[in-house]
């Protein structure tokens, strides 16, 4: 009997819906934008305790601002109380300074990823997929120019990377000089990947 070695993929666009997208927000600072997006996800995706989720993301962003590409920020956290990856997207037409210490990078696209604390593998797949999309330096400008959540969802559906159903090292790793210690947690690993822009 022949084995079926076909690799199945999950599209990044399947992790969110147009209702998880805020186009051209009027907010102009990081925390207000994150809270607005968290509230949207609470209504549309049932993420639960908005304040707790916000605090988790805020703490991470205060430690390591996740500006991962030209004009793109990718805040993320693993949470208790959710059972699947949830992605929310906000665009800021004219951009804003996401992190004062990196004021030269004006952010126009915020991609928020929330994942179950118990699913680090799927979390890595989602982060990897988003990072690959962000490699195109024109992504933020293209998405921020769109004026409708459906158009933004379609952009990622047609141009976004696909997530492998079964995670392989080659899906997320490249040779790097970043080193982990035996006792380091998965969360520390993910933070280092983001900080050093490891795809």
pLDDT tens digits, 136-172: 888 999 999 999 999 999 998 887 555 555 555 555 4
CB contact set of 198 (below 8 Å; sequence gap of 6+): 173, 174, 176, 178, 192
Mean pLDDT value across the chain = 81
**165 within domain boundaries:** yes
Q: Which residue stretches of the chain are H helix?
A: 30-45, 50-63, 120-134, 139-144, 149-159, 169-172, 186-195
Residue 77, beta-bridge partner list: 114
Give the integer Cα–Cα distance in Å for 19 and 39.
12
Q: CA dist 135 to 119, 126, 195, Å?
A: 25, 15, 15
**6 within domain boundaries:** no
CB contact set of 46 (below 8 Å; sequence gap of 6+): none
Tell me the pLDDT tens digit for each residue of 78-136: 888 788 888 999 999 999 999 887 666 789 999 999 988 887 777 777 777 777 777 78
How many structural domains does the chain have?
Answer: 1
Residue pair 190/66 in contact by the 8 Å Cβ criterion:
no
Both tokens of 111, joined, read: 């991609």
**Boundaries of domain holding 73:** 11-195
**131 within domain boundaries:** yes
φ/ψ (deg, to 5) at 115: -135, 155
- 40-49, 136-145, 160-169, 188-197: range with lowest mean pLDDT: 160-169
DSSP-based three-state secondary structure for 154: helix
**4 within domain boundaries:** no
**3 within domain boundaries:** no
What CATH number does residue 79 fall under?
A: 3.40.930.10
Quickly count: other Cβ atoms within 10 Å of residue 45's Cβ. 18
Quickly count: other Cβ atoms within 10 Å of residue 9's Cβ. 14
For residue 9, what pLDDT is reported? 58
For residue 2, what pLDDT is reported? 41
pLDDT mean over 171-194: 72
DSSP-based three-state secondary structure for 184: coil
Residue 180 CA, distance from chain mean position: 22
For residue 3, what pLDDT is reported? 42
Helix (H) or strand (E) holding 69: strand 67-69
Residue 61 CA, distance from chain mean position: 13
**105 within domain boundaries:** yes
pLDDT mean over 4-31: 80
For residue 69, what pLDDT is reported? 80
């Amino acid at each position: 009997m022949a084995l079926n070695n076909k690799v199945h993929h999950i599209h990044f666009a399947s992790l969110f819906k147009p209702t998880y997208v805020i186009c051209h927000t009027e907010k102009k600072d990081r925390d207000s934008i994150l809270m607005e997006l968290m509230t949207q996800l609470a209504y549309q995706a049932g993420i639960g305790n908005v304040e707790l989720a916000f605090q988790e993301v805020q703490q991470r962003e205060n430690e390591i601002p996740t500006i991962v590409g030209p004009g793109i920020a990718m805040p993320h956290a693993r949470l208790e109380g959710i059972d699947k990856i949830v992605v929310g997207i906000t665009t800021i037409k004219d951009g804003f300074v996401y992190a004062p210490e990196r004021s030269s990078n004006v952010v126009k696209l915020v991609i928020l990823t929330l994942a179950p604390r118990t699913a680090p593998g799927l979390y890595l797949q989602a982060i990897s997929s988003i990072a690959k999309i962000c490699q195109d330096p024109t992504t933020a400008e293209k998405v921020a120019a769109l004026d409708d959540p459906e158009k933004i969802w379609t952009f990622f559906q047609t141009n976004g990377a696909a997530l492998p159903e079964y995670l392989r090292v080659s899906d997320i790793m490249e040779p790097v000089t970043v080193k982990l210690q035996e006792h380091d947690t998965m969360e520390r690993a993910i933070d280092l990947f983001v900080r050093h822009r490891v795809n």
